[in-house]
Homo-oligomer: A and B are copies of this chain.
Amino acid sequence: MLIVQKFGGTSVGTTERMRNVAARCLAAQREGHDVAVVVSAMSGETNRLLKLVAELHDDPNDREVDVIVSTGEQVSVGLVSLAIRKAGGKARSFLGHQVKIVTDSAFSRARILSIDSEPIREAMARVEIAVIAGFQGVDEQGNITTLGRGGSDTTGVAIAAALKADVCEIYTDVDGVYTTDPNTVPTARKIDRISYEEMLELASLGAKVLQIRSVELGMKYGVPIHVRSSFSDVPGTWVVPEEREMESVVVSGVTVARDEAKITVEDLPDTAGVAAKLFTPLAANNIVVDMIVQNQAWDGTTDLTFTVPQGDRKRALEILKKEVPDLVGFEGERTSCDDEICKISVVGVGMRSHAGVARKMFELLATERINIQLISTSEIKISCVIARKYAELALRVLHEGFALHLPPSERAAL
């Protein structure tokens, strides 16, 4: 088999832990597999570098910031290569410009355009373990770029896709993907197998175990992803193409996202084009609007409520006041904000063939008198915005209500 192993920051947090990484990839090599390794920066390192940056600079989307933060992974690949050699193996580090991983030029959130996997194949032919820096690439002009938080996951899956690997193993400090956050709900269960689509929704909706982009790439190129612990040998969670038996599982997981804020604009004229007028300037400023609800009032006016990333809320209001002052008025007059919200979601491919999930979700929240402020749905998920103070309570109620503490086979139908 050809295996790509990706190790996160805690897995390479000390040189001692790097010895474990070395032992693990050499063990895979001894079993007869070809192995390539992708590593993150040592835990804490990226934050240390960003703190230095913050002493001089406000904007993280900057060419020079990528030059600086990409050094974290550079140190890791060198050290892990030394650890593998120390353990008796052969290893060679590869940086983004050496692999080479070409991206667009969107600094701090670049997307991979192409990978030249030939240098890695040559290393494998020499029975060397290729140790590849995660998170970084170069654009077509040779500038260093980075892929955003969690970008090493994406590097791992992209390398696996380029090598047509049999699996991309994502080693992390948890032993898989859970039905919900086990810190909040102790009865949360590890999921054995999950489809790319469900994983994509879970990752988008608050589960932090995989970068969204890495799941997209896995789905696009059909790379099986195995999320597992670097501190044990128990199998983790396989993220794979949808399988027939997955449909019988109505709900796979429950998530909460706390990083959005809500903006409401009241008394808008109920005429065509009003929503477009509001959202066009936001889109032009790269503010992503997530959920939108419009209520028609009896007097011919309308109210519009929507959510934006919490970090963009202040900027969003400023833009609206500047661009469409006639619509938004003064804050406190027609426009109000709420940062104390959260988005709670249930996800499952089984929803496609099972009606009644939404009804049951609303009923469960109602039993605890949790008011639903906004609702949005897709084919395989339902999300509700509620007051943030209810986040943990809602997670527990939904987790128990959908019987996620039981093995999938033992869960009753709705």
Chain A interface (Cβ < 8 Å from any Cβ of B) = 15-16, 18-19, 49, 52-53, 55-57, 62-65, 67-68, 70-71, 74-75, 77-79, 81-83, 85-86, 91-93, 95, 97-98, 142, 144
Decide: B68 and A56 in contact? CB cutoff 8 A: no
In Å, the complex CA distance between A140 and B74 comes to 20
Decide: A52 and B64 in contact? CB cutoff 8 A: no
Decide: A56 and B86 in contact? CB cutoff 8 A: yes
With A15-B55, A56-B18, A98-B142 as known contacts, state yes or no: A74 contacts B67, CB within 8 Å.
Answer: yes
CB-contact partner of A49 in B19, B75, B77, under 8 A: B75
Give 4 new A-B contacts, CB below 8 A, not counting A53-B78, A63-B93, A68-B74.
A53-B82, A62-B82, A68-B75, A68-B79
Decide: A74 and B71 in contact? CB cutoff 8 A: yes
In Å, the complex CA distance between A62 and B84 comes to 14
Counting every copy of the chain, the complex holds 2
In Å, the complex CA distance between A77 and B144 comes to 13
Report chain B residues within 8 Å CB of A70. Answer: 74
Can you give 23 A-B contacts (C-beta < 8 A)? A15-B55, A15-B56, A16-B55, A53-B79, A53-B82, A56-B79, A56-B82, A56-B83, A57-B86, A63-B92, A63-B93, A64-B77, A64-B78, A64-B82, A64-B85, A64-B93, A67-B78, A67-B93, A68-B74, A68-B78, A71-B74, A97-B97, A98-B142
| Whole-angstrom distance between the Cβ of A40 and the nearest chain B Cβ | 15
In Å, the complex CA distance between A79 and B65 comes to 8
With A15-B55, A52-B15, A56-B15 as known contacts, state yes or no: A77 contacts B86, CB within 8 Å.
Answer: no
Report chain B residues within 8 Å CB of A19. Answer: 56
